[in-house]
Amino acid sequence: MPEEQKPTDEELMKQLEEELQKLQVSDLLVQTLYTVSSLGYRKLSEPDRDLDQARLAIEALRALLPVLEGTVGDELVRDFKQVTSNLQLAYADAAKGTNGTA
């Protein structure tokens, strides 16, 4: 059996082009919201606390959510709205100097 050849640059570009054709902007936005929300929570945790960055994450979520409404499922939008609300509450606790746990 011949040794498998590495794809050429041209073949790689063609594969990338095919993948980009399949990708939906809404898919990328959903992934972005997941990433931003995770990072926002991380920036509220004690070892990594950065309230400016957490606030930026909240504002980004609030800005992108209306764009997704009507393009993805209502349940997903509702979940992200809940995540945003929870992040805002956690931010308020962190800004007061508490961590919201007993």
Query: Is residue 43 domain-resident?
Result: yes
Number of domains in the chain: 1
Cα–Cα dist 94/7, whole Å: 51
Query: Is residue 66 domain-resident?
Result: yes
Query: Is residue 12 domain-resident?
Result: no
CB neighbours of residue 21 within 10 Å: 7
Range of the domain at 73: 25-95
pLDDT in tens, 5-59: 888 999 999 998 998 899 999 999 999 999 999 999 999 998 889 999 999 999 9
User: Would you tell me the crossing angle of helices 74-95 and 51-68 to the nearest 10 degrees?
Assistant: 160
Query: Is residue 3 domain-resident?
Result: no
Cα–Cα dist 87/89, whole Å: 5
pTM: 0.77
Query: Is residue 34 domain-resident?
Result: yes
Cα–Cα dist 18/97, whole Å: 50
Query: Is residue 58 domain-resident?
Result: yes
